[in-house]
Copies of this chain bind each other. A is one copy, B any other.
């Protein structure tokens, strides 16, 4: 049975969205739809144009015997800007204020529609970077890490604060929390990260950067490399920032607990 072009376009769109950053050979599609490669190439040209026009992503064509097509998330500024503005407004809501000047963000981190869009932005920002693994620390960053990883098509590894029998043997490090200056411990399962991996570190919140810095030290223990650092919210007022090169969507400039005011602005996303 042959497939009509319309059916091919629908199914190929779904297939490409499900396999980001993966080189799909034209043969895969030509066998899947029992269609000539020339027809498949025409289909892909239409998909590429629409994906780019509608801000879905890019389609890169690799020619030659080992060639094929690769879909990559690419977020346009027209999508990113209103989303970041909306995020800022949500985060600035005074009822997020908790005792001690902390912010309640659990609802944002539990909302798949927000988390997916954050994941899209991070994946888009690191589209040209080689990344083998996304790393985060339990618990709050996990949904973000997982969303980014699914758009980058790489696994997630989760650093923990406590040891668990189901993790097998672990590597443990001590690190200094940047804001409280307390010594803390983090652990990572030995078999979860291969030597030489290029790792994107993702977290929901960065103050002085002690935790992120801890993850960087953890990577050294595994002879792995930092490919990038991405945080949803960074706090601006910190005496000493331990991490320099990172991406952030939202910047928390000031939290006035008494006056119940939270001041936020755009992070460095558009400056990167």
Residues of A near any B CB (own CB < 8 A): 5-7, 9-11, 13-14, 17-18, 46-47, 49-51, 53-54, 56, 98-100, 102-107, 110-113, 115-116, 138-140, 142-143, 146-147, 149-150, 153-158, 160, 164-168, 189, 191-192
Pick the contact of A165 from B14, B46, B102 — CB < 8 Å? Answer: B102
Kindly report how many copies of this chain are found in the complex they form together.
2
A-B contact pairs, 13 of them (CB 8 A): A10-B51, A10-B54, A11-B54, A14-B17, A98-B166, A102-B165, A106-B158, A106-B167, A110-B158, A115-B150, A138-B138, A140-B166, A146-B146
Kindly state the separation between the CA atoms of A142 and B158 in the bound complex, as whole angstroms. Answer: 11
Pick the contact of A192 from B17, B107, B139, B165 — CB < 8 Å? Answer: B107
Kindly state the separation between the CA atoms of A5 and B139 in the bound complex, as whole angstroms. Answer: 45
In the complex, which residues of chain B have a beta carbon less than 8 angstroms from the beta carbon of A156? 110, 112, 143
| Min CB–CB distance A206 → chain B (angstroms) | 13
Q: A103-B166, A192-B110 are in contact. Are A139 and B153 (CB under 8 A)?
A: no
Pick the contact of A139 from B100, B142, B165 — CB < 8 Å? Answer: B142
* A-B CB proximity, top 8 nearest: A112-B150, A10-B50, A110-B156, A13-B13, A142-B142, A138-B139, A7-B50, A110-B155
